[in-house]
Amino acid sequence: MNIVKKSLYEKAKPSYAGAVINAALVLLALILAAEITFSMMYTGIYVVNVSMTPTLTGATVLYYDDYGKPVAGTDGDYVYIRKGAKPTYGDIVVVSRADVGDNIIKRAVAFEGDRVQFIEGWLYVNGEKQPESYISDNYRTAPNHTHYNYPRGEQYHTVGKDCVFLLGDNRNNSSDSRDYGDFRLKDVLGVVPSWSINCKKFTTAMHAFFYFTLRGKTTAEILTENVL
């Protein structure tokens, strides 16, 4: 008896090449979805100037263009911020200064109602000396600095309602809340997560390759997405 083949009723088995193509399409879709999700949660920041040294390396400002905007070199760190994240003590944050037209990156050290003061270069919050392990003695406020003791003529500064007190890690070379006062929490664009600090060498190298090397650029125009 002849055996009747069921090929007319069976689906053809997929070829190896077809399986590879399908797997590649699925992988591509997953990567695209991950990229979209990541871009919705995070945004990249190119750091400029020295206020966050030694934690972050800022690009050197080479000159100012005809519109007064700084033009920087290629030596800055590139990190990510979690957009809309609520900062807490010790977080590195990016704040928008709409009146100036730029963003700044600093460390949040105190919030509404906290009492802030500097005594001989050391930060005190609510009367307690802050260890600030992320700062070496070389970057603490020097005796000849204006803010070696802060505030002048008062015992302490009380952070205002819905505000945050920001400091650069490079205390001798940072314009921050000691100069400008408190910053509004609603102007905080996001928080730099710890993983971004830990991976800054990789993200900086990737940014340098795609933004500078691949495009043949030797300077960075400092727009609002960059920070000082």
pLDDT band at 14 (very low <50, low <70, confident <90, very high): low
Beta-bridge mates of residue 40:
none
Q: How much is the pTM?
A: 0.83
Q: Give the pLDDT of residue 199.
A: 95
- Chain mean position to CA 172: 21
Q: Give the pLDDT of residue 20.
A: 78
Residue 184 exposure: Cα atoms within 13 Å on the Cβ side: 6
pLDDT tens for each residue of 131-187: 999 998 899 999 999 999 999 888 999 999 999 999 999 999 999 999 999 999 999
Angle at 191 between CA 212 and CA 42, to 5 degrees: 55
Q: Give the pLDDT of residue 10.
A: 53
Ramachandran assignment for 24, one of left (phi > 0), alpha (psi -120 to 50 degrees), beta (any other) = alpha
The secondary structure of residue 152, as a DSSP letter, is: T
Query: At 25, phi and psi to the nearest 5?
Result: -65, -40
- Smallest CA-to-CA distance from 88 within 177, 180, 194 is with 194
pLDDT tens for each residue of 88-133: 999 999 999 888 778 899 999 999 999 999 999 999 999 999 999 9
